[in-house]
Amino acid sequence: MGTARVVFDRWDGRYAERMRDVRSSAVRDLFGAASRADVVSFSGGMPDVSRVPTEAVMEAMAQTARDFGTTALQYGSSEGRVELRGIVVEMMAEIGVRVRVDDLVITQGAQQALDLLGKILIDPGDTIITEGPTYLGALQAFSAYQPRVVTIPMDDEGMRIDALEAELVRLGPRGAKFIYTIPNFQNPAGVTLSPERRRRLIELAREYDVPVIEDDPYGRLRFEGGHAKPLRALDEDVIYLGTFSKVFAPGLRLGWVAAPRPILGKLLLAKQAADLCGSAFAQIAAERYFTGTRWRRVVQDLTGVYAGRRDAMLDALGEHFPGEARWTRPEGGFFVWAEMPAFLDLKSLLAEAVEHGVTYVPGDAFFPDGTGRNCMRLAFCYAEPDRIREGIARLAEVLEDRLELYRAFVDAGVVPGGPTAVGSERG
Ligand SMILES: Cc1ncc(COP(=O)(O)O)c(C=O)c1O
């Protein structure tokens, strides 16, 4: 008889209550398997930094050390360097958002902004609204502040505004602390909020007096279709999160928040408590890198590369995936969301997939309540097209094995056929 191994944590009973619901990141947990050479990883949303020219980075770093040495090695201001905020002002203007340097705080990636916003806005038991599925790093950051998370389903045009409205009616004015949304090439669903829905979302947020947090790491990585105005361009009260991670490098840990001044004031207090200030070295290096036009060519190149990988993934899905599968068709960004019949548990299938040399992130990581196990996020950003095709073929084999059983059940009338939510069309 086997004995279950009980892991005794002698610190139990000493942790703060707020850590109770914080789960480990499924993506971080897969890091080991995902970095094995024989495994095709569709799990991490890692930008292909090998496309960023080494000379450009070396030049920026050398200039930082040589010309800004004492400043770069010193503590800096908590809101971040005004020069870098000036660059952000210009970048935001290009996507239709007018902000001034005083409307911005530089953060350690958008991830820190999520944590700080949770810290200043959420009391235990507060309701917050997110898309379902949503970015697991946001769920992780917010969960430490113990909110009740209400998720709004999506379809191919992004968050379903009819469902959002129904929730807002149910919760009443100021019934939620905020609405958190990723309008462009959503992580993990890959879908984009249509312009009409953006307008309507802002109307509803105003009507029900609920702040909106717009997280936009992928907006510049559009492969096709027209640019849709950010929510922040429609309403100055929207709290906008940007990042240099996907257009330059996540290793610098640089992002920003544009928000109404009172929010920024509180955010700065929280940031001072968290880290006093961001790295001056990283900020100056980014300023050097983003001076001139080379960075634009790099973003253009990256966009082309990711578009090719998206195409490879969509083609391979069409060729290899089982007839019961549905998936989304992203116009940019990093991710495809695939859905299998409700019966299939893709979380338990993951170990088998890793054995077959392929990883993905099971869908339940992107929901607060463990739903979504029949779904998976497939990141196409990192692997080369040939590897993507190979990985999808391997994954299809693993799925086919399981589906044989499912088909037998459907034939016997024991379970209904067909999938359910996002990615309603096949291919
Ligand atoms: C939707 C979303 N928000 C925030 C982040 C965090 O990015 P950063 O590297 O800027 O912390 C990510 C990273 O993958 C993301 O996908």
Q: What is the mean pLDDT of the chain?
A: 93
Taken in order of first residue, the domains within the chain and their CATH numbers are 18-47+297-411 (3.90.1150.10), 69-289 (3.40.640.10)
Cis peptide leading into 188, omega within 30 of 0? yes
Taking Cα atoms as reference points, which of 371, 252, 392 lies closest to residue 311?
392
Cα of 249 to ligand 1 centre, how many Å? 12
Which ligand 1 atom sits nearest the alpha carbon of residue 250? 9
Residue 2's pLDDT is what? Answer: 45
Find the helix or strand (DSSP H, E) in which 120 lies: helix 109-121
Q: What is the pLDDT of residues 299-332, one digit of tens each?
A: 999 999 999 999 999 999 999 999 999 999 999 9
Instruction: Decide if pLDDT at 404 tops 60.
Output: yes
Residue 419's pLDDT is what? Answer: 53
Higher pLDDT, 69 or 269: 269
Residue 422's pLDDT is what? Answer: 52
- DSSP result, 353-397: HHHTTEE-EEGGGGSTTS--TTEEEEE-SSS-HHHHHHHHHHHHH
Higher pLDDT, 426 or 365: 365
Q: What is the pLDDT of residues 100-143, one digit of tens each?
A: 999 999 999 999 999 999 999 999 999 999 999 999 999 999 99
Pocket of ligand 1 (CB under 6 A): 45, 109-111, 135, 137, 182, 187, 215, 217, 243, 245, 250, 255
Cα of 190 to ligand 1 centre, how many Å? 14
- Least confident interval from 30-34, 122-126, 176-180: 30-34
Q: Yes or no: say if 181 and 164 are a contact pair by the CB < 8 Å rule.
A: no
Taking Cα atoms as reference points, which of 121, 130, 123 lies closest to residue 167?
130
The tokens 């029949």 sit on which residue?
374
Residue to substitute in 245, 257, 377, 382 for testing ligand 1 pocket (most ligand atoms within 8 angstroms of CB):
245
Cα of 184 to ligand 1 centre, how many Å? 13
